Structure 1
């Protein structure tokens, strides 16, 4: 039987992968339409890249099945520090697959080779179930510092898992949860976690359906927090009441100096609270208005 020729799109993808890898120890695949069988070929290329540092797959339809092939290609690479999987159609099963990749070297002396520091999964649909799998990773990681999981259809239950993980995690410094369905109950979970967390520096909760009560609960959690320096709440309808509660709680917090309150629907009461807070603390509050 004659050998089947590779599709042109796959040949081009492989060539681009190898060129970028040889120049920078990075691999990017973006904007292509690749079938599951194509991902097998991509996986075979990944297996050859012994000191790969970064893999970026963006705006391509991988799906859960294709993700299994990607992980198989990465499984024995001990130099990987960054995985970016943005807008790739991943669902909850892929989160479990990534967890398997991240933990496959934990046993025995392999733990010293677990190097992943950044995981970016923006614009997928892993949901609450996938969030639970990823939080298992957060509970056990000794290297991961950045997790971007914005716009992933995560609700209050998924946020509860993240909050539980944050209470014990000692490595995550940047967490991006923007454009999920956090709501006030999710803000309650995160506020409780922030009372105890001592390592998180940046938290993005933009456009996450948080209202005034959620802002109050976050503020209560941050009142004595000694690590968070940046909080983004843009696009949440916290209004005057939420702004006032939040800033009242933060006025004696000398650590958090970067606060984003753009598009939070505040009016004169919120404006006055922001003015007073900035004068008292000297901290930066970003808004979409000219005061």
Structure 2
């Protein structure tokens, strides 16, 4: 009998044969076993599984860089269901597919000892793979680290991982209200897993995914969750990713039905006119969204037209449109919205292509707006003429406290060093409530002369009629 068992392993590497013998003997000194890169196959995994399931000593098993396929993954998963000591398994760079991943996911649902498992993303490809992984994380109370994207470990905070976040979301952990995963290069796969886990959650209020190489696919997965309106998410930051119009159009549709989101940060992406128009149409009558950040995209004048219409009717309190190649034409559209808006307290238009004509149009609208408190309009094309018009217009508006233009901050002589400083100024100084001189637009009206902005608006109207 013993000779037959040896014959079954004779074609296996000597290191594997020695490990098999020690595992079968339950060697108390064998806590860590490294079988990496030995060209092990499904037959090897089957032999290993038969001794692992009842071993009471092994804690760390490394089977990376072998040739184990789905059959071997199934054998190992059956052993892991019964094993009570193994805490870490490395299965990277084998030949597992979705079937092997499903078998491992089933094992994770029953194993209450394993803390870390490392596999390749292909094991959890597609909807079935994602749901299998999320189901495992939801059921497993000990697993704190899993890796489903090649060899890169993704950390959440200092100690936890994306796997921890998925598990806590899927189990509806009521203490998980703030989730910050920044600058980790997650990509779409991990974001899709987070989105799938969010479907089970009723507690998460703040999600920050700043700088994670998220593309349209990841955003669409999040949009589908927002459309269901079940997660109480109030703040969503997707700043500095690789999002384009396709994803934003889907997101805009989801916002129509979402009645919970208060702040949306899409700065530093690749959103152009189609995305801006979709957002504008969705947010024109949105009942709850208060903050929209679109700085450093590619919106331009066409997108500014739609956003200007939205601005006139929306209930936003903060609107950031800086660094978007918006010119005088776009500024005129936005100035029209300024005349009727009653909610926006903070408007950021700096670092665009706005010159004096756009500045004059906005200056015309400032006296008619009683909501705006802070206006950022630092643009290189603007001259002293535009700055003076803005300053004079601000004197007639007792509600405006801060004005930033090319020459610096008129309310803050020292100016702000960056956008974050501008958003929350450390010092404020109010403008005089009574103007010493009437605004430029008022002076022109007194003399029976049209303002430059009104002439520009008339030319735009003629151009549209002609087209």
TM-score (norm 1): 0.82
Cα distance in 2, alignment partners of residues 230 and 93 from structure 1: 32
Q: Which residue of 2 aligns with 1:286?
A: 404
1:44-63 mapped onto 2 (5 Å cutoff): 44-48=164-168, 50-51=173-174, 52-63=176-187
Please name the residue that 1:212 is paired with: 328
Q: Aligned partners of 2:215, 2:205: CA distance in 1, in Å?
A: 22
Cα distance in 1 for partners of 2:362, 2:258 equals 31
Change in 2 beyond 3 A, CA 1:129/1:54: same
Is 1:124 matched with 2:241?
yes
CA distance in 1 between partners of 2:406 and 2:388 (Å): 15
Deviations 1:194-217 (A, max 9, x none): 2222x2111000111001111011
Residue 97 of structure 1 and its aligned partner are, at CA, apart by: 0.6
Report the counterpart of residue 460 of structure 2 in structure 1: none
User: Where does the alignment leave 5 or more consecutive residues of structure 2 unmatched?
Assistant: 1-47, 53-60, 63-87, 91-114, 117-146, 156-160, 411-467
The equivalent position to 1:233 in structure 2, one of 349, 367, 375, is 349
Give me the whole-angstrom Cα distance separating, in 1, the residues matched to 2:330 and 2:89.
Answer: 53
1:91 counterpart (215, 220, 234): 215
C-alpha spacing 1:260/1:34, structure 2 compared with 1 (3 Å): farther
1:260·1:287 contact (CA, 8 Å) conserved in 2? yes
Q: Are 2:236 and 2:264, in contact at CA under 8 Å, matched by a contact in 1?
A: yes
Are 2:294 and 1:182 equivalent residues in the alignment? no
Query: In the alignment, does 2:170 pair up with 1:42?
Result: no
Which residue of the other structure, out of 363, 381, 395, is the alignment partner of 1:265?
381
**CA RMSD of the aligned region, Å?**
2.4
Contact 1:234/1:264 (CA < 8 Å) preserved in 2? Answer: no
Structure 1 distance, partners of 2:301, 2:89, is: 51
Shift of 1:34: 8.4
Partners in 1 of 2:193 and 2:150 — Cα distance? 8
Q: How far apart, CA to CA, are the structure 1 residues paired with 2:148 and 2:406? A: 40
For residues 225 and 48 of structure 1, do their structure 2 counterparts lie closer, same or farther at Cα, with a shift above 3 Å needed?
closer
Counterparts of residues 66-81 of structure 1 (less than 5 Å) = 66-81=190-205
Q: Of residues 188, 194, 197 in structure 2, which corresponds to 1:64? A: 188
Determine the C-alpha separation between the residues in 2 that align with 1:190 and 1:45. Answer: 36
Please say if residues 195 and 221 of structure 1, whose CA atoms lie closer than 8 Å, have aligned partners that are also in contact: yes
Determine which structure has greater relative contact order: mean sequence separation of CA pairs < 8 Å that are 6+ residues apart, divided by chain length: 1
CA displacement at 1:74 relative to structure 2: 3.2
**What is the DSSP-based 3-state SS (H/G/I as helix, E as strand, rest coil) of the residue aligned with 1:168?**
coil
Q: Deviations over 1:122-150 (max 9, x none)?
A: 00111000101111221111110100001
Max Rg structure: 2
Single out whichever of 39-48 and 168-177 deviates more from structure 2. 39-48
> Is the Cα–Cα contact under 8 Å of residues 356 and 383 in structure 2 kept in the other structure?
yes
* 8 Å contact from structure 1 (residues 39, 70) kept in 2: no
Mark the runs of 5 or more structure 1 residues left unpaired by the alignment.
Answer: 12-32
Contact kept? 2:338, 2:366, Cα under 8 Å: yes
Displacement, 1:115?
0.8
Aligned to 1:22: none
Match status 1:202 vs 2:318: yes
Report if the CA contact (8 A) 2:355-2:379 is conserved.
Answer: no
Match of 2:24 in 1: none
CA contact (8 A) 1:122 1:149 kept: yes
